[in-house]
Homo-oligomer: A and B are copies of this chain.
Amino acid sequence: MNRKHALELRRGDAVQTQMHFARKGVVTPEMEHVARAEQVPVEAIRDELARGKLVIPANIHHVELEPMGIGMSLRCKINANIGNSQVTGDASTELEKLRVSIECGADTVMDLSTGGDIDGIRKAIIEASPVPLGTVPIYQAMERHESVATMTADDILQLIEHQAKQGVDYMTLHAGLLREHLPLAKRRLTGIVSRGGAIMAQWMLEHGAQNPIYERWDDILDICARHDVTVSAGDGLRPGSLHDASDSAQFAELKVLGELARRARDKEVQIMIEGPGHVPFDQIEMNVRRQIEECDGAPFYVLGPLVTDIGAGHDHITSAIGGTMAAFAGAAMLCYVTPKEHLGLPDLDDVRAGIVAHKIAAHAADIARKRPGARDRDDAMSRARYGFDWEKQFELALDPQTARSMHAQTAGKECTLESDYCSMCGPRFCAMKVNKALRAV
């Protein structure tokens, strides 16, 4: 869609958020776009936006955006993290990761760059991205300062405003981790594993003061309201191991996130809430229910959760398992985890593997929650499978490229695309084939 015209029409309002217009009863072109994509009546989108149960991250400066919605009543979304670290990665690498992420089906992308030309990389990504872009502004603040000691609250706010003006659609802000929570984290096996959380903790200790993002929450919300930046309330105390899951530190922060969500709504700022992390499979549903309760149904955006700590090299799988359960229980968006999690910076293949695994998780949950039309593609695939239509099967697969190349690996001469069997069973043992004979009887 072309947002330019829509944005000009509502230029007069001091508050530019989709929530603001929803509360005024206005249906924006962004809402219409989301309603069409989700096969949901636009009034339902508007009502859920007004009540804070759904967000449309759409910064007014990100003109080329194709708006999308995040909320429990919509298809479960997935986010891919890109961005360099201080050790590896530059702008061209990150743009290539963006391209691959969108091609593989990422619904949003977060640029987590922490080194090099952070500003230039972000600018290039926003211009190239039709999907909402998220950032963690504190990373750039850290990059500008030798240590947290020289960083002021004003520095942080300036960067939030700077990124808001650049067109960032949503920002992770670690405002829920308070000074009084720090002793709770000391009892943990893996302490604070959130980078943003660790930086805020260090800041509070160095300055002997309360979390500056929490302290300046109203000022930050005013910036977000002007540019329609959706807040993604970070969980700085998310557990980094099964041992630390669902502990008093995590839930103390969640209570504050609920308070921050209410204050955001009071200023008509869109907000979603981030969640763990590492969580045993049996605790995931409880975690989602608790978030819904504490935050009045604000969309829940979870990282994983990872259901074991020993999956290194395959953590896209441990995460997809936990993510399916979380999304089934009501999480609105899954942050992908790649096979390189805990080991290194993901390359293009890792990005692909991470996205596909989480597309599977989100899709499985959409089916399990019986979202409209969720199973249509599965039924079409099964029909193609039953009909030995290999081309159609590749086309309908979540990852057509891999499906095609794997089939080709063992197909060869004896078993081609025209064969009504594959190398798994061979010509005489194919159950599907025998079955066809059965039908004819």
**Chain A contacts to B: CB under 8 angstroms:** 85-88, 114-115, 139, 142, 182, 185-186, 189-195, 197-199, 201-202, 205, 240-244, 280-282, 307-314, 316-318, 320-321, 324-325, 328, 339-345, 347, 356-357, 360-361, 363-365, 367-370, 375, 377-379, 381-383, 385-386, 393-394, 396-399, 402-403, 405-407, 409-411, 414-415, 422-432, 434-439, 441
Contacts and interface: CB of A to CB of B under 8 A. Distances in A.
A335 to B, nearest CB: 14
A317 B409 contact: no
Question: What is the interface of chain A mostly: helix, strand, loop, or mixed?
Answer: helix
A431 B344 contact: no
B308 A363 contact: yes
B186 A439 contact: yes
A360 B324 contact: no
A115 B312 CA distance: 37
Contacts of A345: 410, 423-424
Contact of A321 (B205, B360, B436): B360
A282 B368 contact: yes
A110 to B, nearest CB: 14
Contacts of A280: 364, 367-368, 375
A327 to B, nearest CB: 9
A317 B308 CA distance: 15
Given A189-B383, A321-B361, A343-B403, A202 B328 contact: no
A189 B386 contact: yes
Contacts of A191: 386, 432, 435-436, 438-439
A125 B375 CA distance: 41
Contacts of A369: 282
Contacts of A432: 190-191, 193
A396 to B, nearest CB: 6
A438 B317 contact: no
B357 A189 contact: no
Given A344-B406, A431-B198, A382 B87 contact: no
